[in-house]
Amino acid sequence: MAKLLYENEINTQVLEGKKIAVIGYGSQGHAHSLNLRESGFDVVIGNREGKSFNQAKEDGFAVYPVAEAVKQADLVMILLPDELQQSVFEESIRPNLKDGAALAFAHGFNVHYGQIQPPSNVDVFLAAPKGPGHLVRRTYQEGAGVPGLYGIYQDYTGKAREIALAYTAGIGSARGGVLETSFQEETETDLFGEQAVLCGGATALVKAGFETLVEAGYQPELAYFECLHELKLIVDLMYEGGLENMRYSISDTAEWGDFVSGPRVVNDETKARMKEVLKDIQTGEFAKGWILENQANRPKYTAIKNAENNHLIEKVGRELRSLMPFVKNPIQSEQKDVKV
Protein backbone atom coordinates (compact mmCIF):
# COMPACT_ATOMS: atom_id res chain seq x y z
CA MET A 1 0.00 0.00 0.00
CA ALA A 2 1.16 3.55 -0.75
CA LYS A 3 2.62 5.39 2.24
CA LEU A 4 0.38 8.02 3.77
CA LEU A 5 1.85 10.55 6.18
CA TYR A 6 0.06 11.88 9.24
CA GLU A 7 0.36 14.96 11.46
CA ASN A 8 2.61 13.33 14.06
CA GLU A 9 5.18 12.43 11.36
CA ILE A 10 5.42 15.98 10.00
CA ASN A 11 7.67 18.73 11.29
CA THR A 12 6.10 22.14 10.72
CA GLN A 13 9.08 24.13 12.02
CA VAL A 14 10.21 24.96 8.49
CA LEU A 15 7.22 27.34 8.18
CA GLU A 16 7.66 29.02 11.54
CA GLY A 17 8.32 32.75 11.19
CA LYS A 18 7.53 32.54 7.46
CA LYS A 19 4.87 34.63 5.81
CA ILE A 20 2.27 32.78 3.79
CA ALA A 21 0.28 34.72 1.17
CA VAL A 22 -2.90 32.97 0.13
CA ILE A 23 -3.97 34.38 -3.24
CA GLY A 24 -7.74 34.10 -3.67
CA TYR A 25 -10.21 33.88 -0.81
CA GLY A 26 -12.89 31.69 -2.37
CA SER A 27 -13.87 28.10 -1.67
CA GLN A 28 -10.34 26.77 -1.06
CA GLY A 29 -8.80 30.14 -0.16
CA HIS A 30 -10.92 30.86 2.89
CA ALA A 31 -10.48 27.31 4.17
CA HIS A 32 -6.67 27.22 3.77
CA SER A 33 -6.26 30.69 5.31
CA LEU A 34 -8.41 30.13 8.36
CA ASN A 35 -7.02 26.65 9.01
CA LEU A 36 -3.40 27.81 8.61
CA ARG A 37 -3.95 30.73 10.96
CA GLU A 38 -5.52 28.49 13.59
CA SER A 39 -2.57 26.11 13.18
CA GLY A 40 -0.33 29.00 14.23
CA PHE A 41 1.00 30.27 10.89
CA ASP A 42 1.35 33.85 9.68
CA VAL A 43 -1.12 34.36 6.83
CA VAL A 44 -1.95 37.37 4.64
CA ILE A 45 -4.41 37.42 1.77
CA GLY A 46 -3.98 38.68 -1.79
CA ASN A 47 -7.22 39.33 -3.68
CA ARG A 48 -8.77 41.88 -6.01
CA GLU A 49 -11.24 44.23 -4.36
CA GLY A 50 -14.77 42.92 -4.02
CA LYS A 51 -16.71 40.25 -2.21
CA SER A 52 -13.87 37.96 -1.18
CA PHE A 53 -11.60 40.87 -0.32
CA ASN A 54 -14.21 42.17 2.13
CA GLN A 55 -14.88 38.74 3.55
CA ALA A 56 -11.19 38.18 4.28
CA LYS A 57 -11.03 41.53 6.05
CA GLU A 58 -14.11 40.66 8.04
CA ASP A 59 -12.41 37.41 9.04
CA GLY A 60 -9.57 39.47 10.48
CA PHE A 61 -6.86 39.05 7.82
CA ALA A 62 -4.54 41.68 6.42
CA VAL A 63 -5.68 41.82 2.79
CA TYR A 64 -3.63 43.29 -0.06
CA PRO A 65 -3.74 43.55 -3.84
CA VAL A 66 -2.13 40.36 -5.20
CA ALA A 67 1.21 42.00 -6.08
CA GLU A 68 1.58 43.47 -2.58
CA ALA A 69 0.81 40.19 -0.88
CA VAL A 70 3.33 38.32 -3.05
CA LYS A 71 6.13 40.83 -2.36
CA GLN A 72 6.13 40.08 1.34
CA ALA A 73 5.61 36.32 1.14
CA ASP A 74 7.92 33.38 1.70
CA LEU A 75 5.20 31.06 0.46
CA VAL A 76 2.57 31.98 -2.14
CA MET A 77 -0.42 29.64 -2.46
CA ILE A 78 -2.42 30.31 -5.63
CA LEU A 79 -6.11 29.69 -5.02
CA LEU A 80 -7.55 31.67 -7.91
CA PRO A 81 -9.94 30.05 -10.40
CA ASP A 82 -7.83 27.83 -12.69
CA GLU A 83 -8.84 29.73 -15.81
CA LEU A 84 -7.61 33.09 -14.40
CA GLN A 85 -4.36 31.91 -12.87
CA GLN A 86 -2.16 32.45 -15.89
CA SER A 87 -2.98 36.12 -16.43
CA VAL A 88 -2.84 37.03 -12.71
CA PHE A 89 0.41 35.08 -12.41
CA GLU A 90 2.13 36.93 -15.26
CA GLU A 91 0.84 40.33 -14.22
CA SER A 92 1.07 40.32 -10.44
CA ILE A 93 2.81 37.21 -9.14
CA ARG A 94 5.87 36.43 -11.29
CA PRO A 95 7.37 39.97 -11.09
CA ASN A 96 7.04 40.03 -7.30
CA LEU A 97 8.17 36.58 -6.19
CA LYS A 98 11.10 36.62 -3.77
CA ASP A 99 14.16 34.57 -4.69
CA GLY A 100 13.86 31.24 -2.88
CA ALA A 101 10.16 31.64 -2.08
CA ALA A 102 7.78 28.72 -2.45
CA LEU A 103 5.01 28.76 -5.03
CA ALA A 104 2.09 26.44 -4.33
CA PHE A 105 -1.04 25.21 -6.08
CA ALA A 106 -4.06 23.18 -5.00
CA HIS A 107 -4.51 21.73 -8.48
CA GLY A 108 -1.82 21.04 -11.05
CA PHE A 109 -3.77 22.16 -14.12
CA ASN A 110 -1.85 25.32 -15.08
CA VAL A 111 1.62 23.94 -14.45
CA HIS A 112 0.96 20.52 -15.94
CA TYR A 113 -0.59 21.92 -19.13
CA GLY A 114 2.15 24.54 -19.52
CA GLN A 115 0.00 27.61 -18.89
CA ILE A 116 2.22 28.71 -16.02
CA GLN A 117 5.96 28.13 -16.31
CA PRO A 118 7.38 28.98 -12.90
CA PRO A 119 10.73 30.76 -12.65
CA SER A 120 13.67 28.54 -11.74
CA ASN A 121 14.55 30.31 -8.46
CA VAL A 122 11.55 29.19 -6.40
CA ASP A 123 10.25 25.95 -4.94
CA VAL A 124 7.06 24.73 -6.59
CA PHE A 125 4.70 22.30 -4.91
CA LEU A 126 1.16 21.06 -4.83
CA ALA A 127 -1.04 20.74 -1.74
CA ALA A 128 -4.44 19.52 -2.79
CA PRO A 129 -7.10 18.56 -0.28
CA LYS A 130 -9.38 15.92 -1.76
CA GLY A 131 -12.60 17.70 -0.95
CA PRO A 132 -14.60 20.90 -1.41
CA GLY A 133 -13.21 23.99 0.34
CA HIS A 134 -16.11 24.35 2.72
CA LEU A 135 -15.57 20.83 4.00
CA VAL A 136 -11.83 21.48 4.33
CA ARG A 137 -12.85 24.22 6.73
CA ARG A 138 -15.69 22.40 8.47
CA THR A 139 -13.76 19.19 9.12
CA TYR A 140 -10.80 21.17 10.49
CA GLN A 141 -13.12 22.93 12.94
CA GLU A 142 -14.41 19.54 14.00
CA GLY A 143 -10.85 18.48 14.82
CA ALA A 144 -10.59 16.25 11.76
CA GLY A 145 -9.25 16.84 8.25
CA VAL A 146 -9.89 16.20 4.57
CA PRO A 147 -7.12 13.89 3.26
CA GLY A 148 -4.86 15.47 0.69
CA LEU A 149 -2.12 15.10 -1.88
CA TYR A 150 1.23 16.80 -2.08
CA GLY A 151 3.73 16.85 -4.89
CA ILE A 152 6.98 18.57 -5.73
CA TYR A 153 7.50 20.12 -9.15
CA GLN A 154 10.67 22.04 -8.41
CA ASP A 155 13.00 21.92 -5.40
CA TYR A 156 15.14 25.06 -5.50
CA THR A 157 15.92 25.39 -1.82
CA GLY A 158 16.26 21.70 -1.03
CA LYS A 159 13.39 22.10 1.42
CA ALA A 160 10.41 21.94 -0.93
CA ARG A 161 9.18 18.60 0.39
CA GLU A 162 9.45 19.66 4.02
CA ILE A 163 7.60 22.90 3.26
CA ALA A 164 4.87 21.13 1.30
CA LEU A 165 4.29 18.67 4.13
CA ALA A 166 4.20 21.42 6.74
CA TYR A 167 1.61 23.19 4.62
CA THR A 168 -0.61 20.11 4.37
CA ALA A 169 -0.41 19.81 8.15
CA GLY A 170 -1.35 23.48 8.53
CA ILE A 171 -4.54 23.10 6.53
CA GLY A 172 -5.52 19.96 8.43
CA SER A 173 -5.07 17.50 5.58
CA ALA A 174 -2.39 15.56 7.46
CA ARG A 175 -5.02 14.65 10.06
CA GLY A 176 -6.74 12.61 7.34
CA GLY A 177 -3.47 11.50 5.75
CA VAL A 178 -1.43 12.88 2.87
CA LEU A 179 -0.18 10.98 -0.13
CA GLU A 180 2.70 11.95 -2.40
CA THR A 181 1.89 12.47 -6.06
CA SER A 182 3.12 14.36 -9.12
CA PHE A 183 1.51 17.35 -10.83
CA GLN A 184 0.65 15.06 -13.73
CA GLU A 185 -1.01 12.39 -11.63
CA GLU A 186 -2.96 14.87 -9.50
CA THR A 187 -4.17 16.84 -12.51
CA GLU A 188 -5.26 13.85 -14.56
CA THR A 189 -6.92 11.94 -11.72
CA ASP A 190 -8.66 15.03 -10.34
CA LEU A 191 -10.12 15.92 -13.73
CA PHE A 192 -11.10 12.33 -14.39
CA GLY A 193 -12.74 11.92 -11.00
CA GLU A 194 -14.84 15.03 -11.27
CA GLN A 195 -15.84 14.36 -14.87
CA ALA A 196 -16.52 10.64 -14.90
CA VAL A 197 -17.67 9.90 -11.36
CA LEU A 198 -18.12 12.65 -8.79
CA CYS A 199 -19.76 15.44 -10.77
CA GLY A 200 -20.34 14.51 -14.42
CA GLY A 201 -21.03 10.82 -13.83
CA ALA A 202 -23.21 11.39 -10.79
CA THR A 203 -25.35 14.19 -12.28
CA ALA A 204 -25.84 12.29 -15.55
CA LEU A 205 -26.87 9.16 -13.64
CA VAL A 206 -29.30 11.07 -11.43
CA LYS A 207 -30.89 12.88 -14.38
CA ALA A 208 -31.19 9.73 -16.50
CA GLY A 209 -32.88 7.89 -13.63
CA PHE A 210 -35.24 10.79 -12.95
CA GLU A 211 -36.15 11.18 -16.63
CA THR A 212 -36.74 7.44 -17.03
CA LEU A 213 -39.29 7.45 -14.19
CA VAL A 214 -41.01 10.68 -15.25
CA GLU A 215 -41.22 9.60 -18.90
CA ALA A 216 -42.84 6.36 -17.73
CA GLY A 217 -45.59 8.43 -16.06
CA TYR A 218 -44.47 8.42 -12.42
CA GLN A 219 -44.73 11.56 -10.29
CA PRO A 220 -41.73 13.92 -10.60
CA GLU A 221 -41.70 14.55 -6.85
CA LEU A 222 -41.34 10.86 -6.16
CA ALA A 223 -38.69 10.51 -8.87
CA TYR A 224 -36.77 13.37 -7.21
CA PHE A 225 -36.79 11.69 -3.81
CA GLU A 226 -35.80 8.38 -5.33
CA CYS A 227 -33.01 9.49 -7.66
CA LEU A 228 -31.53 12.59 -6.01
CA HIS A 229 -32.51 13.11 -2.39
CA GLU A 230 -31.81 9.57 -1.26
CA LEU A 231 -28.45 9.43 -3.01
CA LYS A 232 -26.83 11.40 -0.20
CA LEU A 233 -28.04 8.91 2.38
CA ILE A 234 -26.60 6.04 0.38
CA VAL A 235 -23.30 7.82 -0.29
CA ASP A 236 -22.90 8.63 3.42
CA LEU A 237 -22.97 4.90 4.13
CA MET A 238 -20.31 4.28 1.48
CA TYR A 239 -18.17 7.09 2.91
CA GLU A 240 -18.37 5.60 6.37
CA GLY A 241 -17.75 1.96 5.50
CA GLY A 242 -17.33 1.35 1.81
CA LEU A 243 -19.72 -0.47 -0.50
CA GLU A 244 -20.00 -3.31 1.99
CA ASN A 245 -21.36 -1.03 4.72
CA MET A 246 -23.92 0.48 2.37
CA ARG A 247 -25.02 -2.98 1.26
CA TYR A 248 -25.29 -4.10 4.88
CA SER A 249 -27.77 -1.34 5.56
CA ILE A 250 -30.04 -1.76 2.54
CA SER A 251 -32.51 -4.63 2.18
CA ASP A 252 -31.36 -7.88 0.58
CA THR A 253 -33.79 -7.13 -2.23
CA ALA A 254 -32.02 -3.82 -2.86
CA GLU A 255 -28.67 -5.56 -2.65
CA TRP A 256 -29.69 -8.23 -5.18
CA GLY A 257 -30.96 -5.47 -7.47
CA ASP A 258 -27.66 -3.68 -7.02
CA PHE A 259 -25.72 -6.80 -8.06
CA VAL A 260 -27.78 -7.71 -11.11
CA SER A 261 -28.87 -4.30 -12.45
CA GLY A 262 -25.96 -1.98 -11.64
CA PRO A 263 -23.69 -3.60 -14.23
CA ARG A 264 -26.51 -3.39 -16.83
CA VAL A 265 -26.57 0.41 -16.43
CA VAL A 266 -22.87 1.09 -16.00
CA ASN A 267 -21.40 -1.54 -18.31
CA ASP A 268 -18.43 -2.17 -20.59
CA GLU A 269 -19.76 0.49 -22.93
CA THR A 270 -19.73 3.04 -20.09
CA LYS A 271 -16.22 2.03 -19.15
CA ALA A 272 -15.10 2.45 -22.76
CA ARG A 273 -16.53 6.00 -22.63
CA MET A 274 -14.68 6.61 -19.37
CA LYS A 275 -11.48 5.61 -21.12
CA GLU A 276 -12.21 8.16 -23.85
CA VAL A 277 -12.74 10.84 -21.21
CA LEU A 278 -9.42 9.88 -19.62
CA LYS A 279 -7.66 9.96 -22.99
CA ASP A 280 -8.90 13.52 -23.64
CA ILE A 281 -7.52 14.54 -20.28
CA GLN A 282 -4.17 12.83 -20.87
CA THR A 283 -3.68 14.30 -24.34
CA GLY A 284 -4.56 17.84 -23.24
CA GLU A 285 -7.67 17.87 -25.45
CA PHE A 286 -9.98 18.63 -22.53
CA ALA A 287 -7.65 21.36 -21.21
CA LYS A 288 -7.45 22.96 -24.65
CA GLY A 289 -11.25 23.04 -24.97
CA TRP A 290 -11.65 24.65 -21.55
CA ILE A 291 -8.92 27.22 -22.16
CA LEU A 292 -10.44 28.20 -25.54
CA GLU A 293 -13.94 28.27 -24.06
CA ASN A 294 -12.74 30.83 -21.53
CA GLN A 295 -11.00 32.88 -24.20
CA ALA A 296 -14.32 33.00 -26.07
CA ASN A 297 -16.09 34.21 -22.91
CA ARG A 298 -17.78 30.85 -22.21
CA PRO A 299 -20.62 30.70 -24.78
CA LYS A 300 -21.12 26.95 -24.52
CA TYR A 301 -20.69 26.85 -20.74
CA THR A 302 -23.36 29.54 -20.35
CA ALA A 303 -25.86 27.85 -22.66
CA ILE A 304 -25.47 24.48 -20.93
CA LYS A 305 -25.64 26.01 -17.46
CA ASN A 306 -28.92 27.77 -18.27
CA ALA A 307 -30.45 24.62 -19.70
CA GLU A 308 -29.33 22.57 -16.69
CA ASN A 309 -30.79 25.05 -14.22
CA ASN A 310 -34.15 24.77 -16.00
CA HIS A 311 -34.26 20.97 -15.97
CA LEU A 312 -37.43 19.61 -14.35
CA ILE A 313 -35.40 17.88 -11.62
CA GLU A 314 -34.11 21.31 -10.53
CA LYS A 315 -37.53 22.94 -10.54
CA VAL A 316 -39.10 20.10 -8.57
CA GLY A 317 -36.10 19.99 -6.25
CA ARG A 318 -36.23 23.69 -5.42
CA GLU A 319 -39.86 23.37 -4.41
CA LEU A 320 -39.40 20.23 -2.37
CA ARG A 321 -36.35 21.53 -0.53
CA SER A 322 -38.19 24.72 0.38
CA LEU A 323 -40.65 22.46 2.21
CA MET A 324 -37.84 20.61 4.01
CA PRO A 325 -36.07 23.28 6.06
CA PHE A 326 -33.85 20.62 7.62
CA VAL A 327 -32.10 20.00 4.32
CA LYS A 328 -31.24 23.68 4.15
CA ASN A 329 -27.66 23.76 2.99
CA PRO A 330 -25.41 25.56 5.48
CA ILE A 331 -22.98 26.28 2.65
CA GLN A 332 -25.61 27.83 0.37
CA SER A 333 -26.85 29.95 3.23
CA GLU A 334 -23.29 31.27 3.60
CA GLN A 335 -23.76 32.29 -0.05
CA LYS A 336 -20.72 30.38 -1.18
CA ASP A 337 -20.35 27.98 -4.05
CA VAL A 338 -19.27 24.43 -3.44
CA LYS A 339 -16.66 23.24 -5.86
CA VAL A 340 -14.38 20.24 -6.16
Numbered residues of the known binding site for Mg(2+) = 190, 194, 226, 230
Closest CB to ligand NDP among residues 68, 258: 68
| Of the candidates 28, 308, 4, 3, the residue with the CA atom closest to the CA atom of residue 177 | 4
Q: Which stretch binds ligand NDP (CB under 6 A): 80-88, 119-127, 138-146, 280-288?
A: 80-88
User: What's the CA dihedral at 302, 275, 178, 139 to 10 degrees?
Assistant: 40
Q: How far is the CB of 170 from ligand NDP (least distance, A)?
A: 16
Binding site partner of 103, from ligand NDP, Mg ion, none, Cβ cut-off 5-8 A by kind: none
Three-class DSSP category at 226? helix
Could you give the count of Cα atoms lying within 13 Å of 315 in the half-sphere of its Cβ? 6
Residues of this chain, 31-70, that bind ligand NDP according to CB under 6 A: 47-48, 50-52, 66
Per-residue mark of binding to ligand NDP, 89-108 (x: CB under 6 A): -----------------xx-
Three-class DSSP category at 12? coil
Residues of this chain, 111-140, that bind ligand NDP according to CB under 6 A: 128, 132-133
278 scored as a contact of Mg ion (CB under 5 A): no
Q: Looking at 22, 34, 82, 171, which residue binds ligand NDP (CB under 6 A)?
A: 82
As a whole number of angstroms, the distance between CA 103 and CA 97 comes to 9
Three-class DSSP category at 176? helix
Three-state SS sequence of 104-172 = EECCCHHHHCCCCCCCCCCEEEEEEECCCHHHHHHHHHCCCCCCEEEEEEECCCCCHHHHHHHHHHHCC
Q: Looking at 27, 35, 96, 173, which residue binds ligand NDP (CB under 6 A)?
A: 27
- Residues binding ligand NDP: what is the number (CB under 6 A)? 25
| Of the candidates 95, 188, 207, the residue with the CA atom closest to the CA atom of residue 149 | 188
Binding site partner of 176, from Mg ion, ligand NDP, none, Cβ cut-off 5-8 A by kind: none
Q: What are the angstrom distances between the C-alpha of 9 and each of 142, 159, 161, 167, 210? A: 21, 16, 13, 13, 47
Q: How far is the CB of 300 from ligand NDP (least distance, A)?
A: 19
Binding site partner of 162, from ligand NDP, Mg ion, none, Cβ cut-off 5-8 A by kind: none
% helix, strand, coil for the chain, step of 5 = 60, 10, 30
As a whole number of angstroms, the distance between CA 45 and CA 71 comes to 12
Per-residue mark of binding to Mg ion, 165-204 (x: CB under 5 A): -------------------------x---x----------
Q: Is the dihedral of CA 222, 227, 230, 232 positive or negative?
A: negative
80 scored as a contact of ligand NDP (CB under 6 A): yes
Give the β-pairing of 148-154 and 123-129.
antiparallel
Residues of this chain, 168-187, that bind ligand NDP according to CB under 6 A: none
Could you tell me which residues are annotated as the binding site for substrate? 251
> DSSP secondary structure string, 39-70?
TT-EEEEE--SSHHHHHHHHTT--EE-HHHHH
Binding site partner of 279, from Mg ion, ligand NDP, none, Cβ cut-off 5-8 A by kind: none
Give the β-pairing of 102-105 and 75-78.
parallel
305 scored as a contact of ligand NDP (CB under 6 A): no
Closest CB to Mg ion among residues 188, 194: 194
Could you list the active site residues? 107
Binding site partner of 47, from ligand NDP, Mg ion, none, Cβ cut-off 5-8 A by kind: ligand NDP
Binding site partner of 128, from ligand NDP, Mg ion, none, Cβ cut-off 5-8 A by kind: ligand NDP
Binding site for ligand NDP (CB under 6 A): 24-29, 47-48, 50-52, 66, 79-82, 84, 88, 106-107, 128, 132-133, 339-340
Binding site for Mg ion (CB under 5 A): 190, 194, 340
